[in-house]
Amino acid sequence: MKDILTAPFMVEMIRTVTNMYAHGWDERNGGNVSLMLDENEVSEYLDTNKILREISIGFTAPKLAGKYFLVTGTGKYFKNMQYDPAKNMGLFRLNKNGDTAELLWGYSDGGRFTSELPAHLMSHIARLEVNPENHVVMHCHPANLLAMTYVHSLDEREFTRTLWQMCTECIVVFPDGVNVLPWMLCGTNEIGEATAAKMNTARLVVWSQHGIYGAGADLDETFGLIETAEKAAEIYMKIAHLPLVTTISDEQLKTLAAAFKVTYREGYLN
């Protein structure tokens, strides 16, 4: 078997969460990432018949039965990921019933996956129905998007329009917009279900006064989605208290969408 720490998916996961921490998105043990893998990727590095232990996931996800996931651990600091990946992450397969994680690698200190795993898996299910190539769900706490939920309407259309107007690239990067949830208790199946429902129509879901969930085909796409939305929110927070002299008009946004051949969220432009 090859050394799993040299696997491209492992190298990229470590780089990504380290970068998330460096951006200030994942203070302390805040935030979590799940990466769905194909069996042929995993089997080069692990004996998939060697189960280290079984961990209940707290709900049943039959649509993901047999799927492999690399997931950050609960209570783990992203700043430590690059120094001890096996302690801070785990790779598991969901059993045939979809209710138990069969641990194949990681969580070496006896730990387990993030407490937000139900929200992650429910979001994976929702996004796979929209895009069969979806492999990543990412949760973090970008400061400007959080701040924005305190001073901006949580209406999804208005929230999206504001972000689109802040940076020329926004409507191109996330033409499906941003969905928003009111404050809810984290780490529960209820917030997982609510997030998954929002994932049916957008790859970005803001948790008010908490953070954001992003989904994408790979780690780069998902990181880039959040990074772009956070930059737009940063600009908004810098100018929200000032008189608005000019902005990107709806006609200009339509021109952008046409030029880059993206389909923007229906009904979001006048």
Could you list the active site residues?
116
| Contact between residue 137 and residue 123 where contact means Cβ atoms under 8 Å apart | yes
Give the phi and the psi of residue 187 in degrees, each rounded to 5.
75, 15
Q: Which residues, in sequence order, are CB contacts of 138 under 8 Å at separation 6+? A: 20, 31, 32, 33, 34, 213, 214, 215, 216, 219, 222, 223, 226
Q: How many other β-carbons are positioned within 10 Å of the β-carbon of residue 113?
A: 26
- Identity of the amino acid at 264: Y
Give the H or E element holding residue 37.
strand 32-37
Pure H helices in the chain: 8-22, 39-42, 85-88, 117-130, 143-151, 156-166, 170-173, 189-198, 219-239, 250-259
DSSP 3-18: -GGGSHHHHHHHHHHH
DSSP 174-210: -TT--EEE----TTSHHHHHHHHHHTTT-SEEEETTT
- Identity of the amino acid at 184: M
- List the 100-106 sheet strands across, edge first: 53-56, 100-106, 89-94, 68-72, 32-37, 136-140, 211-216, 204-207, 179-181
